[in-house]
Amino acid sequence: MGISEITNQGALPQSTKEKKVKEPISSSPRKSDKAELSAEARSLFEAGQKKRVDEIQQKIHDNFYFNRDVTEKVVAALIKDLMK
């Protein structure tokens, strides 16, 4: 068996070989998403924050954080954070 002739048969046409570069649709600046909280949502968030602060203050008053188990967890969390 010998090769008698080399042809382009089966080759892709030139137009499909070339990569087409897509042009940007618009040159205007991109719009960005934006979220706004209602006054009611802000009020609920602030109330939740105040409640959490009040709970922490009560735990301090009750000496909760001087419990050995709690102190060890706090120290472990601090060490882990410092090791980052």
Over residues 2-27, the pLDDT tens digits come to 656 666 666 555 555 555 666 666 66
* Tens digits of residue pLDDT in 16-65: 555 566 666 666 667 888 889 899 999 999 999 999 999 999 999 999 98
Look at phi and psi of residue 10 and say left if phi exceeds 0, alpha if psi is from -120 to 50, else beta.
left
Dihedral (C-alpha) 61, 66, 67, 70: value to the nearest 10 degrees?
100
pLDDT at 10: 60
Residue ranges of domains in the chain: 37-84
Q: What is the pLDDT of residue 32?
A: 86
Q: How far apart are CA 59 and CA 52, in angstroms?
A: 11
